[in-house]
Structure 1
Amino acid sequence: MKTLKYLFLCISITLFTNCSDDDASEQITSIASEIFNIEAFGDSNIIGTIEYFKNSNSTITIEVNLVGTETNQFYPAKIAFDTAADYDGANSQVAINLVPIDGNSGKSRTTFSTLEDGTTISYEALLDFDGNIVINQSETSNVIVTQSDIGQNILTTNTFSYPLSEVDVSDISGTITFTERVNGEALAEISLIGSPEGGVHPAHIHSGSVATAPGAIAFTFNPVVSRISKTNVAQLDNGTPFGFDDVFTVNGYVNVHLSATNLGVILAQGNIGAN
């Protein structure tokens, strides 16, 4: 009888010990975190934050919290490669598909350790990732409600602007603004006033100054569409490195043209850099 009691006691202790070990091995804790803002896209009025958690088991958890979402709606979310200015919808490569945001709570949590292509990624690598987060209106809509640069593409507070004056068409003018990224590159934003809604206008940095125009094209911006253009600035068209600091010293000027087939008509123009 004592043998049976002793055997039962040993089994009980073993089971208890095994359960405790399993519980301990399954316990995952966050050992570091960083949080960043997510900006509204267009007139969506949906904003929020994205927070990264470094987990004790070498995984990463991304938590998205949005304000302004609609109830009973799910918002697909993903991290794409390159900057938000380079994003081209379905033509852009997806790095990580996130769990859709629940419109009732505005939240989603995704835990992972690899990218969509199977490449392992660490918490530290994600903090320096060359990408942007994109959140769409629904599973069946490509309309973007929020989009922000992440990692090395995050914008700093270093920014400056140049005026663009009217040239061949009256009452069209604007500005070009350069904002430094964490990695030393820049976001160039052209904003026009008075141009037709829906117009598509090529824009470039030309060598030389307005006084010595015309000059050769040194850098090509994304076209101005409906009065706005956003372009990542990292190198000139010939491949020469060209970042935020280089804009201060470039011998150049900006032209915004009427159309790709009518480059001779200049809507707005202005000196930049050394000029």
Structure 2
Amino acid sequence: MKNLRFISYLLALTAFVLVSCDDDDNDGPGVLPTGQSKTFALSSVADPAISGTATFNALDNGSTSIELMLNGTPDGGSHPAHIHFNTAAEGGDIAVSLTSVDGSTGMSTTIVSATDAGDPLTYYDLLDFDGYINVHFSADDLATLVAQGDIGQNELTGMSKDFALASVADPNISGTAMFYERVNGETLVTLALENTPAEGMHPAHIHFNTAAEGGGIAVTLGIVDGNTGMSKTNVSMLDDGSMMLKYDDLLDFDGYINVHLSADDLATLVAQGDIGQNELTGMSMSYDLNEVDVAGVSGTVDFRERVNGETLVEINLTGTTFAGDHPTHIHLGSVAEAPGAIAVTLTSVNAMGVSKSNVTILDDGSAMLSYSDLVAFDGYINVHNSAADLGTLVAQGDIGANGN
């Protein structure tokens, strides 16, 4: 079928050239292809079996022959097609109406020289056009898309980067955030989560700082559809308009992503992950935190390296069934030499036995602390019973140069 459709495409193009030549015989010079062309991908939408390409062929009068070729279209169907303004992730009005795709051949050919509004549109204008193509199921069902693809300056370069989105409130929900570079330097951000509840609508944002620190909203992303677990957003600037954000900027961004349960319950997170320079490298060290004054409480502390060299310090204790937060610090020296002065104040361990801190510097500001510094640090960790009872230790353990 694919070969037959390709042969049909060649025959159609040949017929176009012959007609042009015939016009040449009767009315002067004909319109011919220049040999310049550009092909854009049209991806599946409603039906995973249908996909194809849009090829823009430059003609010598400045107009463009746009050839749509789809595989898997049902025989007898007629699929309206349009070039729209903006990216597919943003959506936009119709810029140019294209000839409907014939379901039997999967093909459509349109000669384009202007927008539907009459604005001139050359081949080179189309190569830099801020737009996308939609191919619809039928004239009676325009809401159902059979294929879609960004074109012009919105085309994807092939460069991409994925970041993990870990479970938070529900251990069954997790996924990824994919950043795709566009030709114009902007970014398609796609969130893909597994096991989101049907009919749910989950607001999502890029925030400043690390997830351990928390921070304000930097960029509002498209809401994750619980039915598909998907969200797509075109990112070009901060929400407040204070700074443009190119793909390379996002790869170095000091931020993280939150996906919330609902607009009415933003406090409950279904997924979260650090991005950009805060991404974890995979390098880590783990140390034991031992029982001290409270029977049955012990656990571990993990140091995880970030791309920027900073450290996520994550404490997990078991047996902390009592309420309240437990102040936690890295001290100078070893447990055997205790007490030692506080070097770094960590986030208090909560009643669930968890603490997450981003460590970059000593409390007094006298020295920066990279991951390499921490895994060689002459120190230990104390977890205290409460701010009012620092004398009672919940757990304690040597780290860095003193660790196990």
What code does the residue aligned with 2:251 have? L
CA distance in 1, matches of 2:199, 2:169: 22
2:344 is paired with a residue of what secondary structure? strand
Q: Deviations over 1:74-117 (max 9, x none)?
A: 10000001111011xxxx31111001011111111111311112
Q: Map 1:141-160; keep pairs closer than 5 Å.
A: 141=265, 142-160=267-285
Tell me which residue corresponds to 2:219. 96
* Distance in structure 2 (CA, Å) of the matches to 1:221 and 1:206: 11
Residue in structure 2 matching 1:134, options 239, 258, 278: 258
In structure 2, distance between residues paired with 1:156 and 1:109: 26
Is contact 1:191-1:228 (8 Å) kept? yes
Which residue number in structure 2 is paired with residue 254 of structure 1? 381
Alpha-carbon shift at residue 270 of structure 1 (Å): 1.1
Asked if the contact 1:44–1:146 (Cα under 8 Å) also holds between the matched residues in 2, the reply is no
Output the aligned Cα RMSD.
2.1
SS at match of 2:250: helix
Match of 2:339 in 1: 214
Q: 2:155 aligns with which of 4, 10, 29?
A: 29
In the TM superposition, residue 35 of structure 1 has moved relative to its aligned partner by 2.1
Aligned to 2:177: 50
Alignment partner, residue 175 of structure 1: 300
Q: Distance in 2 between matches of 1:198 and 1:67?
A: 33
Give the CA deviation at 1:192. Answer: 1.1
Larger Rg computed on CA atoms: 2
TM-score by length of 2: 0.62
Distance in 2 separating the partners of 1:178 and 1:48: 23
Q: What is the DSSP-based 3-state SS (H/G/I as helix, E as strand, rest coil) of the residue aligned with 2:373?
A: helix
Q: Secondary structure at the match of 1:72?
A: coil
The reply to whether residue 227 of structure 1 matches residue 373 of structure 2 is no
CA contact (8 A) 2:62 2:122 kept: no
Higher relative contact order (Cα pairs below 8 Å, separated by 6+ residues): 1
Which residue among 98, 111, 116 is the counterpart of 2:234?
A: 111
Superposed displacement of residue 44, structure 1: 4.2
Q: Structure 1 195/112 Cα, relative in aligned 2: closer, same or farther at 3 Å? A: closer
For 2:289 and 2:62, the matched residues in 1 are separated by 78
In the alignment, which residue of structure 2 is the partner of 1:63? Answer: 190
Quote the Cα distance in structure 2 between the aligned partners of 1:274 and 1:112: 43
Q: 2:211 corresponds to which letter in structure 1?
A: A
* 8 Å Cα contact 1:74-1:102 kept in structure 2: yes
The amino acid of 2:356's aligned partner reads: K
Cα distance in 1 for residues equivalent to 2:261 and 2:168? 11
Letter in 1 for 2:128: S
Residue 203 (structure 1) shift:
0.6
TM-score of the superposed pair, with normalisation by structure 1? 0.89
Shift, 1:130, TM fit: 0.8
1:101 alignment partner AA: V
Tell me by how many angstroms 1:14 deviates. 7.7
Partner of 1:186: 311
The CA deviation at 1:210 is 1.3
Q: How many residues align?
A: 264
d(CA) in 1 for partners of 2:216 and 2:372?
29
Superposed displacement of residue 198, structure 1: 3.8
Q: Is the 8 A contact 2:163 2:279 kept in 1?
A: no
Displacement after TM superposition at 1:199 (Å): 3.3
- Partner of residue 202, structure 1: 327
Which structure has greater helix proportion? Answer: 1
2:391 is aligned with 1:238 = no
Q: Please, which runs of 5 or more residues in structure 2 have no aligned partner?
A: 1-25, 32-60, 64-111, 114-119, 130-151
> What residue is the counterpart of 2:248 in the other structure?
124
- Shift in Å, 1:188: 0.7
Q: How many angstroms does 1:58 deviate by?
A: 2.8
1:49–1:64 CA contact under 8 A, matched in 2 = yes
Instruction: Give % identity.
Output: 43
How far residue 20 of structure 1 moved from its aligned partner, in angstroms, is 4.4
Change (3 A) 1:157 1:57: closer
**Structure 1 residues not aligned, in runs of 5+:** none
